[in-house]
Amino acid sequence: MVEILIIDDESQIRRLISRILRGAGHSVREAENGSEGLRLFEERRPALVVTDIVMPETEGIEMIRTMHRAAPEMPILAVSGGSSPVYLRAATELGAMAALEKPFFPDQLLAAVTKLLAGPAAIKRTGRSLSNGGARRRRR
């Protein structure tokens, strides 16, 4: 399908997201921090970026701003946990097209990626912040 760049300093999270997206047929490149993510972004522009926000070296908000300035139409999905509502809101104000709070289920990640790859019209219909509503309660 398309190439997706995943940037997350937590290796288990990064590998899990990669496995989910590869399982959906996407090509994936991984970066363990913002500096490496920016380098991979400059080497070969992906169709979509999934990035954590709080990371060592170049942090996610600055990275999102840089990527958005260089490629304003490229979809960026910001993901974060902890005190993320403030960070996720800032990410969408500064260039991320959508945000997803950790923890999330694989189907929530895939739905967000599908909407972002569908283009701006799909994002406008659903809004920038993607809920993870069921992630905190048990699935039935």
d(CA 29, CA 41): 10
d(CA 52, CA 36): 13
CB 92 within 8 A of CB 98: yes
d(CA 107, CA 86): 24
Dihedral over Cα of 123, 125, 128, 130: its sign:
negative
Geometric angle at alpha carbon 128, from 124 and 133, rounded to 5°: 120
For 72-105, the pLDDT digits (tens) are 999 999 999 866 688 889 899 999 999 999 899 9
As for how many domains the chain has, the answer is: 1
pLDDT of residue 37: 95
Q: How much of the chain exceeds pLDDT 90, in percent?
A: 69
For 10-67, the pLDDT digits (tens) are 999 999 999 999 999 999 999 999 999 999 999 999 999 999 998 888 888 999 999 9
Entry pTM = 0.85
pLDDT band at 139 (very low <50, low <70, confident <90, very high): very low
d(CA 34, CA 126): 28
Judged against a pLDDT cut of 80, whether residue 128 lies above it is answered with: no
Residue range(s) defining the domain that contains residue 57: 3-136
Judged against a pLDDT cut of 50, whether residue 132 lies above it is answered with: no
CB 45 within 8 A of CB 74: yes
Domain of residue 103, CATH code: 3.40.50.2300
